[in-house]
Amino acid sequence: MKACARLRPGTDLADPAQAAKAALRRMGRRILALTEEIDELEAELKPLTTRAAPELPALKGIGADVAGQLLATAGDNPDRLNSEAAFAHLCGAAPIPASSGRRDRHRLNRGGDRAANHALHTIVLSRTRCRSRPGE
């Protein structure tokens, strides 16, 4: 990113090499700007999520962004989520029975809060990576 942002294209953008340098420079600068903005937003979000639910960021695989998404999904009325199954249905992570006759099977739930489902997926991937590394 930094190397691309430092590129100095010439003035003749009809030359494919110069046009590529110009495009790479713009993309590098944009990536750096967006990365800086993400870091600022995460610094603002971290204390808010820690104050709302101090136990969430303490868990492995849950950062400020994932904790914020889960808190937003739970909403201001967490009393309606009286079990893990209720939260799983809210997130679209609970399987739906699709049995017929003697066959007992389930299908993927396409409903629910897809952003919360993605947050759960991020947690699973993070924990799986940490568990697969030796010495951790």
Domain spans of the chain? 1-52, 54-136
At residue 83, the pLDDT reads 87
- The three-state secondary structure class of 103 is strand
* Confidence (pTM): 0.70
**Which amino acid appears at position 32 of this protein?**
L
Task: Give the C-alpha separation, 25 to 136, whole Å.
Answer: 39
Task: Give the C-alpha separation, 81 to 88, whole Å.
Answer: 10
**Which amino acid appears at position 26 of this protein?**
R
What pLDDT tens digit does each residue of the chain (136 aa) get?
A: 899 999 999 889 899 999 999 999 999 999 999 999 999 999 999 999 999 889 988 888 898 999 999 999 888 667 778 888 888 888 888 888 888 778 888 888 888 888 999 999 999 998 888 776 665 5
Task: Give the C-alpha separation, 49 to 67, whole Å.
Answer: 6
Query: Of all helices (H) and strands (E), which one includes residue 130?
Result: helix 114-132
